[in-house]
Structure 1
């Protein structure tokens, strides 16, 4: 199991979806009810291509059923709901994840993206500034925080 889980993670990082799926299936055949495996695979799908939410959502729902108290799974499931268009449902789970892990940069990033979708640009920008100052880095997943912050600034103060 550990080998297949490790290989799945490796191919997730290289965005080789076919090989990632193969190793996920192998790991799943060895350990069917592992919420961390389900979460890692499904969230990797969402990072690689947000349109994979249709595949990720049922896996994340199963992971959440297996481990309903996991903030990481709440965040992943919430983000999948947001990507599916169920913003309120997703935000509720992401807020619960933030209650458990208030400084988590990935959960905060998701919250900021939800606020952006709702037109609450200043709040989203404030969160991203906090993430950037506390993280010390410029990226979350493959997202460039500076580019996202510049976009929010342009939405707050559009040039005429």
Structure 2
């Protein structure tokens, strides 16, 4: 039987996931500050989801519970922002795929919304999407930034499942 090179500790897996989230946010900030790409409201919400996932993974890695129950509790906490990110990024990709005549009108900026509305209305308005969210200003290998975010959220959710619910991950491989 050969040794598995990916048999890392729970702590190492969580910290790698947290570092991945931090790097993704750093790249988004780089494209904004150096590349001049201004994020739309859905992009900002995706950043928040990456940050929340990163914080949960960092806390789980620092805590590193030995028991299955503790790891599963961290897993549930980590899956919440990962699934939320999948939903937000999926909505964003859907908006970008709409025909031009079906794209919603551009709305006010997130700063204005935060000043003018309660937070629940802001969230509902942003998730509805607006015209600026349908613009594709950046691509890599034919995928827009929201499509890459969606792919990363899915990969990170699978990473969380494999790390914090190993019996489920082993059962899926059979």
Bin for the TM-score computed over the shorter chain: under 0.3
The higher radius of gyration belongs to: 2
Q: Which has the higher contact order (CA 8 A, sep 6+)?
A: 2
Give TM-score, length-normalised by structure 1. Answer: 0.27
